[in-house]
Structures are given as structure tokens and as C-alpha cells.
Structure 1
Amino acid sequence: MHFQPTEEQRDLRAGVRELLAGRYGREALRASVDTGVAVDRGLWRELGEAGFFALRLPESAGGVGLGLPEAALVFEEAGRALLPGPLVATHLAAGVVPGAAAGTAVVTAFDLGGGLGGGLVAHLGEADAVLGASGVPAGSPVRSVDPLTPLHRVASPPGAADVSEYRSAGALLTAALQVGSALRTVELAVRYAGEREQFGQPIGAFQAVKHLCAQMLVRAEVARTAVYAAAVTGDPGEVAAAKLLADRAAVQGARDCLQVHGGMGFTWEADVHLHLKRAWVRAEQWRTAGEAEELLAAELLDSAV
């Protein structure tokens, strides 16, 4: 990706957006929230048929044969749509776990760290396999801040569940999800600011609201640039920086979007709180802020020696 997506990459992004808009629009999102069903097996298989999970598998192995830059674009769209489920783990498991590439298997991973604890697993109850582990361990349900990211605590995570070789790619794809969510909250804030009126004019005419929306856009675009760059280079330090920026863009962007919406943003009917809750969870997946900062600090020290 040379500074701008190619025509093929733009077509890929448009195709994924069209697929998700038709198959997982707002009504489907709210239905998932109301029913508590995070993984739609039918949709999962459709994603598999569309090449979502096999995107980076070589064509000789039945995959699409693309790379991390294309995967980042696809996951950005999934984040924009708030598509739930262990998307990153299943994508990483393509070619390793039978059925993952085709979407006939749901694969999760021991990817939660930091404040949420390494013994927590997302979507364990819906999973057919755990990346890097033999079998699906038993776990106790834990209340999750995100209604579409169910959590289970596993008392003794199996030693075989080593995801270190997947951590960099997992962090990058999670950052892409965060970028998509951040860009979507910019759209939600700008639209509401143009519709909601106070004192006889849209609230978007007020300087404070303009500043909030502008700051949201800057954070999201900077994070998107960092994710795209890291997808091209694959450099662990750049991936860590991209995850830091994307987490901040998603979390702070959702907070600012709530601020623009005022009291309306805190209602269950609004979608803004769903973006914030998902962003909180993703910030703890694959590489936390603390882990990313440690990696970047170590690289700086090495370069200074």
C-alpha cells in the first residue's frame, strides 16, 4: 500500500462494507444486543465464504492470497460495523484449525491481558477451538462490560495455549477494528451535531462541538495511518505504536461522541455506548497499552546503545 490504497484494495473495502451493511446493519446489531447472541453461525459461514478468514492464506491452500494491508482494510470495516465475535482469533487460526478458514468453526484465543487478567477468554462458550490449545477448557462466566463480548474465566489456562507467535498480527488486526470504530463514532457525532438544535441552530455550529469532532477525526486518521504503515512494514514497534494510537482513538472518540450526544448518548437505544464498551475490551486484547509501551521503550533503548 503506497500511501493510498490501490484500486483493488478500495474495491475490497467497498465489497466488505456492502456485505456487512446488508447482513449486519443496525437492526441486526440491536437484535444481537437484545438476544445476547454474539456469534451468528450463519453470518460466520458467510464471512468464511467471502474469504474474510482465509484472506491471508495462500491460494495453494485454498485462501485468497492477500496480505496484512488488505486484512487491515477488511478488519477496519468490521470494526466500523461493530461486528462481534472472535474475528481476529478465527482469522489467525485459518490454516491451523480445521474449519476456521471456511467459517464453519469459531476459534477464540487467550488474548486478554492487563487489567482483565490472562485467565479471561472471550467467546469461550461459543467457540469450537482455542488458538494454540488442545480442546476447549471449561470456564466460569464473568460479567462483561460489552454485551456482545461474553467472558469466561479459566482457572488454569493450558500451557499449550501459547499465542506469542500470533501476538503482533493479532494486535495489528485489533487496532484495525479500533480504527473502524473510531471512524464510525466520528460519523455518528457529526451527523447528530448537524441534526440536534439548540438556541435555533444545530449544535454543530458551536465552537466547542466543532473542536470535539475535529479532535476525534484527527485521532482516528492518525491511528489509521499508523495501522496502514504497520501493516506494510510488519515491524513489531510500529505495530505496538499503531495499537496504542488506535486504542486511544477508539476509546476517547467514543467518549467524545457521547459528549456530543449529551444525555441521549447514554441511553440504551443509542449505539454510542456499544462502541465505547467494545473499545474498552479491545484495548486489553493481544497487546495492552502497558505492553506496547514496554516494547517501544525497549526498542528506543536498543537504538540508543
Structure 2
Amino acid sequence: MDVLSDVLAVLRTGRARSAQVVWHAPWAQEFAAVPGAAGFHVVLRGSCRLLRPGAQPLTLAAGDIVFRPHGDGHVLADSPGTRPVTPACDPAEMGDLPAYASVGSPGTGEATVTLCGAYELDAGLVHPLIRDLPDLIHVPAQWGRHPHLRATVDLLAAELTEPGPGAEALVPALLDTMLVYLLRTSLTGEHPTGWAAALADPVTGAALRAIHREPGRPWTVAALAAEGGLSRAPFARRFADLLGQPPMSYLTWWRLTVAAGLLRRTDTTLGAIAGQVGYASEFAFAAAFKRRFGVAPGRYRRQLAA
């Protein structure tokens, strides 16, 4: 089981959007904070500064990529001294754009071209794999590094510049591909910690893949330890040290997260969902679900549909 793919399948909601923007100096654009929206910027031509509260301005050059996994607010500008003069851009409003868009800013100064985009994630189901990421991930333009990510950016930029037949299907697929490569880049550093370390670890990684492969199986700590080839007590300590919670706590959390995703995306009966995520009865499932989300599963589904 590919844990990252499984996590994204549950978290993703709505449709990824992107726009290519030509900025003419002087310019500055504020991007509003949107919980549950992960955003990115790619500098295709020129340079700019990324400004955020409590941090030094980050200079971005052509080829640089910035990923904001938690949807935190920030400003993109030609220089730190330029103030935004237009209303803050809300990534949620990108849903009003077509699948591809190219827009520009007025002015006659030096041009900077960026690729901006946002992904909708369910803020109520945020997985610790995503939550543990830093608020800003900067991928500098370095020849030969992250070739698959670079190739995806090039294809996306080309399709946004000159959309051809099938662009409305191709661009969202490229955006999804880019998200996976951005997360891969974040999880495969030289000194992984937290979830990145847990996935790379042969013991905890095997247990996590087993949980995600069969969330409804009647797992025990001993059974999960056996997946990783370790005895029960050392496995439990290792899991808690890397992930900050005992294995059975994570199992319960993930089962209910999967159930919430099924309630949102499908019309599967509550009894079938209960069995799929490892509960012997609909009553036991409803009680556990209400403890986690504060409402019964049936009401949770109706609220999402309203």
C-alpha cells in the first residue's frame, strides 16, 4: 500500500486550480490564508519576493518553486517595499477560473511570470503526514535536481500558455502530479524526521502500509509488530517515538478518517462503512465516530450535503 497516495485520496476534495500570471513592476499581491488549501508558486521568468509575517523576505528567481502546504497567508511582490493595492487573492476563488487560465497585471515595468495554484484539502481530515510539514517548502532552481517535478512544471506551464484540445482534462491531472512530486520532495530529505522518518523506517513503514492496506482488519499491536519483524514492546516504543502516538491510536484515527471520506464521497450505507473500517456493529462505529467528530455519521453526511 502506498501510504502517500492513500492519504491524498482521503484528503483531496474539489478541484485543483492554477493560473499563469504576468506581473509588471511595481506590483504586490496578497494571498489570503485559507485553511485546507495548499498553494504553490513557480517563478517562470524574472524574480520576486515572498513576504510572510515574522520571517525575512525570500528572494525567488526563475525556476524556483514554493509550496505552502497549510494555506498560510503571504504576499508576493517585486520588492519588499511595494505594498499590495488590490484585495487579497483568496485561493478558494480560483474555483471560478476555468481549468486553465492566464491573467496579467497592468503596468509597464519589468515583467515577472509566475505559475500560481491551489489544492483543496479537507481541513477536518488533515493527516499528520501533511500537518507535520513546515509552513513553507522552497525548492530552488538547481540543474539536475528533482527532474520529474521540473518536467511536470514545464508541461503545466506550456499547457497554460497555449492550451490545446483536452486542456481541461490535462491541466488538473498535471496539477495532481505536481502535488505528489512536491510532497515526495518534502518527505525524502537527507535527515527525515516524524512521518518522513516513519515511512522510511523498515519497521514502522511496514506497519503503516499494513494499516492502510487493510484498515478493517482486527489488528493488534502484536500483529502490527509482526509486519515489521519486531516484537511487541520494542515496536510500540519505536512507533510512538517516531509518530508521537501509540499504534492503536493511529489505527483508530485512520479508520475514522477513512469513514469520514467515504461519507463525503459515496452513498455507501453506514453498516457497510462500519464493516469496511473494522467495526463489528453500526452502533460501535457511530459511537466512535461521534467521539471523534462530535456528530453522528448520518448527521455528518447530511451536513456535507447541505
Q: Which TM class, normalised by the smaller chain length?
A: under 0.3
TM-score (norm 2): 0.27
Q: Which has the higher helix share?
A: 1
The structure in which a higher percent of residues are strand is 2
Question: TM-score, normalized by length of structure 1?
Answer: 0.27
**Greater relative contact order: 1 or 2 (C-alpha under 8 angstroms, separation 6 or more)?**
2
